[in-house]
Structure 1
Amino acid sequence: MRFLTAAFLSLSLAVSGMAADNTLTDAEKADGWKLLFDGTSTTGWVNRDKDELKNWKAIDGAFVRDGGGGDALYKAEQFENFVLSLDWKIADKGNSGVFIRLSSLKDWINTGAEIQILDINEAGEMSRPNHIAGSLYDLVAPPEGVRMKSGEWNHFDITCDGPKISCTMNGVQTFAIDVTEEKWQKPQGKFKLPYGTLPRKGYLMLQDHGQKVEFKNIKLKPLP
């Protein structure tokens, strides 16, 4: 019965044009999407400060931070203009993040923007609007009332297109900025340098903040 159910689900997805988890549809392949995690292998990923990956594992189709080992860096390639699509689930009171355009592995705090992942029950960080899930960490808060789904899978679509960076969480836009605007020509938030002057090409990284976090359907479409 379990086999028949799985087979029926696969057939239903094929008929509907939807991709099964950690796969690309024919339409996505034709449109240039890349799969950065296939559900079974961690190929391409290393710890930020190592050439190997410790304590991030492929478990039941998810890329899971399973014990301390450091941030997970996609070192196979750097990206400039792109759409990044992924699903994530964070432990109760957990904290993580998605770093984009990370240009220096030594000074990663100051050279890559972080789209925050934070459980809604983490009261300390939740008290700061530009630290909640979907924020451009320490820089831009999501609109009032936009919140992640605790204990469930959430979805990010992150777009970097030249100077423009935006994010949607579960289909709702959480921020959109243009780093050529005057405010980004001086240091903001945690950054020592003006964010508008940082390189626009770099690595992707998933943050290890000490709690369990899971990712799946990590897909990227390069833009011109």
Structure 2
Amino acid sequence: MKLAFISDIHGNYEALKQVLAAIDGMGVDQIYCAGDVVGYYAQINECCAELQARKIPTVMGNHDWYMAGGGFCPRSRSVNDCLVYQRRIIEPRHVEWLQSLPTQQRVGDLRVVHGGWADPIDEYLKPSDEYFDKVDGRYFVSGHTHIQLIHKSPTKTYCNPGSVGQPRDGDPRAAFATFDGAEFTLHRVEYDMQPVFDLMHAAGFDDYYYGGLKTGARNLRKL
């Protein structure tokens, strides 16, 4: 069975559409999402609806948790600015869906969380052999860092599929990964960012909040 993994969509429906179109052409049997469907960008309703319509199993990310529980991010004022706006536009049915998301998922020998196995929602995982020696399982997937990578130890393999909606590894293309039961493969696709910029501008946000998309920067500001 061939699987695909997406993560950190963050309301970027333009990127999500292109990623799903690419996956649809690969003969994938099932798509899984490692969280953060919402946060940052303007099309959170479209992203939530798409994942629900496709019945994509999804774990809860920290931005999903903020939206589902009414909390705010302790690290970033800009994240909270976006949350205030998104709470005004999100449909109640999508809030209920976010509230229903699990924090962890098992797929055979594979384990999925958003952050890490010490804190499934908000751990910024730095993969190492020593880290995974302490975690039960053989294959692992998480997101949260927005940095696409594969880490292999002698007996275990970890994959971060990267971010669909806000890459932070210097490559602005939308990211995802596939898994054939033994090996992960990393993928990138281009998409049209202008609709994202236009929608954010129309919502009252300036380039500070979306300029990093142009370069795959680690922060929101245009470099």
Q: TM range, normalised to the smaller chain?
A: under 0.3
Which has the greater radius of gyration?
1
Higher relative helix content: 2
TM-score by length of 2: 0.24
